């Protein structure tokens, strides 16, 4: 297994903590019936999980297309449909949520997508180094200087729709 630098270890911990927090927040949004916000949080959580696995394997992913392609590759490698199809399912989440809001279909389709994406995020973190450990706060000396993080970058270009 690849030996991570202290800086990369700190990034991994940060990615994992943010990813799991976003996943938890997505569940809270679902309970409140805020499907659009839930979708955005799921995009962020999944993206950070894929980037975390890549980082643990010594790969840097730049841009959403690279993240989606790597997720598909990981899904193939691990024979995990949830990982392989997670971004594809999320891409149709907004349209499905709109149809649910208009009462043309039941929310079962959204719940199934939510379960698949949640399962994919959890499985991805199992694949990452230290994935079975609870997230710990990053010591101040290991924190990176304040720069836009992946979530801020995603807000400026892609991800979910509302």
Of 119 and 35, the structure prediction assigns the larger pLDDT to 119
Decide if 50 is inside a domain: yes
Q: What is the pLDDT of residues 15-68, one digit of tens each?
A: 999 999 999 999 898 888 788 889 999 999 999 999 999 999 999 999 999 999
Q: Flag whether pLDDT at 13 surpasses 60.
A: yes
Read off the pLDDT band of 91 (50, 70, 90): very high
Decide if 77 is inside a domain: yes
Read off the pLDDT band of 140 (50, 70, 90): very low
Read off the pLDDT band of 144 (50, 70, 90): very low
Residue with tokens 């809001």: 101
Read off the pLDDT band of 137 (50, 70, 90): very low
The answer to whether 39 and 161 are in contact (CB under 8 A) is yes
Per-residue tokens: 113: 């997508």
Q: What letter does residue 147 receive in the DSSP assignment?
A: -
From residue 134, give the alpha-carbon distance in Å to each of 14, 93, 131: 12, 29, 8
The pLDDT, as a whole number, for residue 7 is: 92
The answer to whether 43 and 89 are in contact (CB under 8 A) is no
Decide if 154 is inside a domain: no
Decide if 98 is inside a domain: yes
Decide if 152 is inside a domain: no
Of 38 and 149, the structure prediction assigns the larger pLDDT to 38
Task: Determine the average pLDDT of the residues in 84-89.
Answer: 95
Read off the pLDDT band of 111 (50, 70, 90): confident
Q: Flag whether pLDDT at 76 surpasses 90.
A: yes
Decide if 158 is inside a domain: no
Rounded distance between C-alpha atoms, residue 100 and residue 2, angstroms: 45
Q: What letter does residue 149 receive in the DSSP assignment?
A: -
Task: Find the domain containing 28 and state its range.
Answer: 7-133
Neighbours of 102 (CB within 10 A): 8
Decide if 141 is inside a domain: no
Total count of domains within the chain: 1
From residue 82, give the alpha-carbon distance in Å to each of 1, 26, 98, 101, 136: 25, 17, 23, 25, 27
Decide if 25 is inside a domain: yes
Q: Is 3 left (phi over 0), alpha (psi -120 to 50) or beta?
A: beta
CATH number at residue 89: 1.20.120.330
């Amino acid at each position: 297994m690849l030996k991570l630098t202290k800086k990369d270890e700190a990034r991994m911990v940060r990615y994992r903590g943010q990813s799991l927090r976003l996943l938890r927040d997505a569940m809270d949004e679902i309970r409140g019936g805020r499907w659009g916000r839930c979708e955005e949080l799921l995009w962020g959580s999944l993206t950070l999980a894929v980037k975390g696995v890549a980082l643990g394997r010594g790969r840097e992913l730049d841009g959403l297309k690279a993240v989606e392609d790597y997720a598909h590759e990981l899904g193939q490698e691990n024979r995990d449909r949830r990982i392989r199809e997670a971004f594809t399912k999320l891409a149709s989440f907004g349209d499905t949520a709109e149809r649910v809001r208009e009462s043309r279909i039941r929310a079962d389709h959204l719940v199934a997508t939510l379960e698949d994406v949640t399962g994919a995020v959890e499985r991805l973190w199992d694949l990452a180094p230290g994935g079975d450990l609870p997230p710990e706060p990053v010591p101040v000396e290991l924190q990176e200087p304040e720069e836009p993080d992946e979530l801020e970058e995603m807000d400026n270009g892609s991800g979910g729709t509302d």
